[in-house]
Structure 1
């Protein structure tokens, strides 16, 4: 424990609920209660609908609501974030477990809960290792591309439920072609109920967005199908759901099985955490407070372990559900606890009411949720802002549609890392000139009015000096020298953008300095940070150019050169 850390501070950091409970205000009680009711109205029908994406019975969607809400409320650092079933990561779960077991089998359901526990364990591990920075490896274009591709994949997977036809496996285009070829098999009753439910979802969200559209549509569809005779109408319904407490589900600890589940679990942790952190930051803008990324990992770990142990599937922070809480006036995590209580009462008392809930209506709820997630305008704006980043997003979408969801997001992350490596190893150096009437020095290609000095080349290193970048920077400097002509006899390197130098870079600098000196060109440095200069001292660079050739400012180096010429 750090010597300056007070035990109470550490306890509050590890149990964040102690903070918001102590500062809780009485006038927040009613808004939190009403927000909890709104969350209950949204999460119950969506939980059962999202279970279809995961490939498990609807009851498991209800099992996935209560434990994560409680776990996050106790351990999370956001006052407003809502954790629960999710569409984006739910499909990855289905693909991961589907590689081992067939949908509908008891083994599949058990493995889905085991996967949730494994995901929770990885969240906890990353939290203990303080790896809250991992979400930074999914840039926004990759995440948006993943979501847009996921929208297409999820919707085409739900269309058979919506129309009452059989489904098939394969990629997006395989499923699309299958639907087109079997349109003549569409059953009238399921198609009408599904399309009406979808239209109702759209109308309610457009005209009265504050009403829980999913609950209204699910309730009306259930009542109508029940009045018309339930399954006798030809519409597939949920059927009897068990009531009472969720059963304790012990994980399958077979090493081979866990090893097979691990790649999917890691993908879910990475994607889910990036999504959750984005939602938590958005909630912070609305409701204030601070987010501690490493504690968020711990909170998501606890939420998923509890969900898996009580027969549920994975859960992550959701921007859509968080937006519901914010719109309903939530002030704290008490809203989540209220929602958990009502969802628990639903499990114990109300599950018989869902017997005649039609699968086409659940498909409509999922499709409406996915359409709500889609932001095609983002891609249009991205195309205008950065063609390269748009290309990455497009590749992710294409990868998901042709190769699969896991492959698409994996391709996106790989491309993002390659771009990061390329940019780190290709920093942009620049020839500098003095802006007239100032002591500022800027890139002469961007500022044609900047003044240069015959015989002097002022050159800015564009980034850190290390084994992967030094060759590129050395070539850029020599190109700049060649373009400046033989008159240049002094090079002043602006190292203000250099935070790090390694031994490979020092050795390369020594070779370059020796080559310049053989050509009668002297070298000096300006704005060298202390840790960089220490590396130059140890590497012999300072001895090669002389300690007097290090300057605090570029202006100082230019003045010293002028004085040297006059002398």
Structure 2
């Protein structure tokens, strides 16, 4: 088509349009393409500096969290490198940092112990960890493509607080023996705590190890508290290595990291036997739920601070890609990290180039200076993990729950005890179960109340909030704050029966039905029987403010005729006006037997279906 431009210009534009469309499509599914296409040269210095600062945190934490997962420290570096690269390509956040995570470490260790026990060789354990990462990555990516981010809602805030508190205590106790230079064979929080105390009592602690571990922990905690912009972990690790050189800690019984394998991370295919796949899959699902909740909450909070919009489903794809990439290079499951993302943000990071720079620095270290960390004391790594566990605990949040809502506090404590006493994997099951049961409880036993007219306040209000209120004799305004379904049908029926038996007897029971967002078939059957009972007693069940979708369901169930078409009102005011017009009742400030309007004669009394009997 000729649009007035020269033919050559039209041809060039036509050739560019498909390429632009392809880039747009690629940028949607691979946001890293869009970042590269729109990258500004002025961003590069800040991304380089932020990447260098970030790498100082990535190396010691990656090694420490690998050991927390029961794996060699070098796998933490492999995981960090390819997790960063995978997320940089597929993640939607500009600055979010992924990698080994303290909250996933105990879960990974629990899965591996469940599958192969504690005596498996390192190669087998690493292969299973890589398979676990592949499973988590695939589940996460599929969930992102299918837009299943709502699964993260299975962990409510109280259960998240309880789960993280339990995890913090579990991690803290598990690292105490390493901090003191010995190990225990206990499995679970109580056994590990008992083993640690027995080790101390029997003199297994190494004084030099205790000293370097406690000093390292003190440096991290003090600097993070008073100088949050200073790389506390890096300073503590450098100080621990310096202590090794000065005090010859290796000859004093302190275990050192030792030389790391040199060279580029080896490409290896994840593998597991058929009998191992089922427990691995169960563990992968639990890890995915925790990682999903952490990813969406962390990404959303940092996006809000930077004014950026993120796509939760794309975030899941990005973290899934990070896990898949790590799985092919002897890696283990990764998640987002709030602390490392905060470091990147404070250092001026503008894009995911920051993560690529951090990955490049780690690769350069592995290729050029693999012996750089050989003199790092193991107690120092234990201190890094303990410091991370302390940041997981949310004591203030727990206290806030106690003050604001005791029931949710109990939910949080139950999740905490589930993790602390049953273990990490059963604990996540308890946490999810508590969240689901808490939701079900609210539907099963919803809030119910009587409404009355409060003097000087428009509308009709909860008598618990306005105990001094006016009522119409013979009229009961009732609100049921839940969908009417199988779980609460009996509760609703019993409540209406109780209202119908109240003295003085009501003529109308008006249901303020706006909170009733559904009526299922079980509830419909219950209503059929209930309406017949009320009709026999001459009591009318009136519906006000019922939503149209729910009204259509009632029509399909055939309940409209049983209720009476005249007994559906758009508002409570209309229902009250209709009652007053029929009975002549007037508002009174307090109920009493004399306030009940006289019963109309049988020939004039309407049935519960709203139809007056024909006169003779």
Taking structure 1 as the reference length, the TM-score comes to 0.94
How many Å separate the matches in 1 of 2:132 and 2:25? Answer: 31
Of residues 222, 227, 252, the one that matches 2:271 is 252
- Say yes or no: does 1:132 pair with 2:134: no
- Say yes or no: does 1:295 pair with 2:310: no
Q: Is the 8 A contact 1:84 1:318 kept in 2?
A: yes
Query: Partner of 1:351: helix, strand, or coil?
Result: coil
The residue that corresponds to 2:251 in the other structure is: 232
CA apart distance, 1:126:
2.0
The residue that corresponds to 1:462 in the other structure is: 481
Query: Partner of 1:325: helix, strand, or coil?
Result: helix
What is the aligned-residue RMSD (CA, Å)?
Answer: 2.1
Q: Deviations over 1:178-227 (max 9, x none)?
A: 22222222222222222221222223223322121212221222233135
Query: Partner of 2:103: helix, strand, or coil?
Result: helix
Equivalent runs, 1:182-193 vs 2, <5 Å: 182-183=199-200, 184-193=203-212
Q: Deviations over 1:62-87 (max 9, x none)?
A: 00111111211221122222111101
CA apart distance, 1:27:
4.2
Of residues 442, 455, 469, the one that matches 1:423 is 442
Q: Is the 8 A contact 2:96 2:341 kept in 1?
A: yes
Q: Deviations over 1:134-170 (max 9, x none)?
A: 1101111211111111122112211111111232222
Q: Deviations over 1:76-123 (max 9, x none)?
A: 122222111101111100110112333652211211111111111211
Q: Deviations over 1:301-355 (max 9, x none)?
A: 1110111111111110111111212222223322222222222222222321111
- Say yes or no: does 1:387 pair with 2:402: no
The residue that corresponds to 1:160 in the other structure is: 177
Of residues 40, 64, 76, the one that matches 1:49 is 64
Which stretch shifts more, 436-445 or 213-222? 436-445
The residue that corresponds to 1:266 in the other structure is: 285
Q: Is the 8 A contact 1:431 1:480 kept in 2?
A: no
CA apart distance, 1:296:
1.9
Of residues 582, 585, 608, the one that matches 1:564 is 582
Q: Deviations over 1:439-476 (max 9, x none)?
A: 41111222123321111111122111111122111212
Q: Is the 8 A contact 2:127 2:272 kept in 1?
A: no
Of residues 176, 183, 188, the one that matches 1:171 is 188
The residue that corresponds to 2:112 in the other structure is: 97
CA apart distance, 1:254:
2.4
Q: Is the 8 A contact 2:220 2:236 kept in 1?
A: yes
CA apart distance, 1:235:
1.6
Q: Is the 8 A contact 1:461 1:493 kept in 2?
A: yes
Query: Partner of 1:200: helix, strand, or coil?
Result: helix
Query: Partner of 1:523: helix, strand, or coil?
Result: strand
The residue that corresponds to 1:204 in the other structure is: 223
CA apart distance, 1:53:
0.2
CA apart distance, 1:537:
0.8
CA apart distance, 1:268:
0.6
Q: Is the 8 A contact 1:146 1:408 kept in 2?
A: yes
How many Å separate the matches in 2 of 1:172 and 1:388? Answer: 26
Q: Is the 8 A contact 2:78 2:265 kept in 1?
A: yes
The residue that corresponds to 2:550 in the other structure is: 532
The residue that corresponds to 2:360 in the other structure is: 341
Q: Is the 8 A contact 2:510 2:544 kept in 1?
A: yes
The residue that corresponds to 2:10 in the other structure is: none
Query: Partner of 1:532: helix, strand, or coil?
Result: helix
Which stretch shifts more, 402-411 or 20-29? 20-29
The residue that corresponds to 2:92 in the other structure is: 77
How many Å separate the matches in 1 of 2:240 and 2:464? Answer: 65
Taking structure 2 as the reference length, the TM-score comes to 0.87
Q: Deviations over 1:394-444 (max 9, x none)?
A: 222223232212222222221222222121122222211123345411112
User: Structure 1: which 5+ residue stretches go unaligned?
Assistant: 1-5
How many Å separate the matches in 2 of 1:304 and 1:418? Answer: 31
CA apart distance, 1:25:
4.6
How many Å separate the matches in 1 of 2:565 and 2:36? Answer: 59
Q: Is the 8 A contact 1:277 1:317 kept in 2?
A: no
CA apart distance, 1:132:
0.7
How many Å separate the matches in 2 of 1:498 and 1:7? Answer: 48
Q: Against the structure 1 CA distance between its residues 104 and 150, is the aligned structure 2 distance closer, same or farther, given a 3 Å change threshold?
A: farther
Q: Against the structure 1 CA distance between its residues 33 and 185, is the aligned structure 2 distance closer, same or farther, given a 3 Å change threshold?
A: same
How many Å separate the matches in 2 of 1:23 and 1:480? Answer: 67
- Say yes or no: does 1:541 pair with 2:574: no
- Say yes or no: does 1:222 pair with 2:241: yes
Give the structure with higher Rg (CA). Answer: 2
Q: Deviations over 1:211-265 (max 9, x none)?
A: 2121222122223313544633422111111122111121114221111211211
How many Å separate the matches in 2 of 1:89 and 1:538? Answer: 49
How many Å separate the matches in 1 of 2:403 and 2:490? Answer: 33
The residue that corresponds to 2:13 in the other structure is: none
How many Å separate the matches in 1 of 2:43 and 2:469? Answer: 59
CA apart distance, 1:484:
5.0
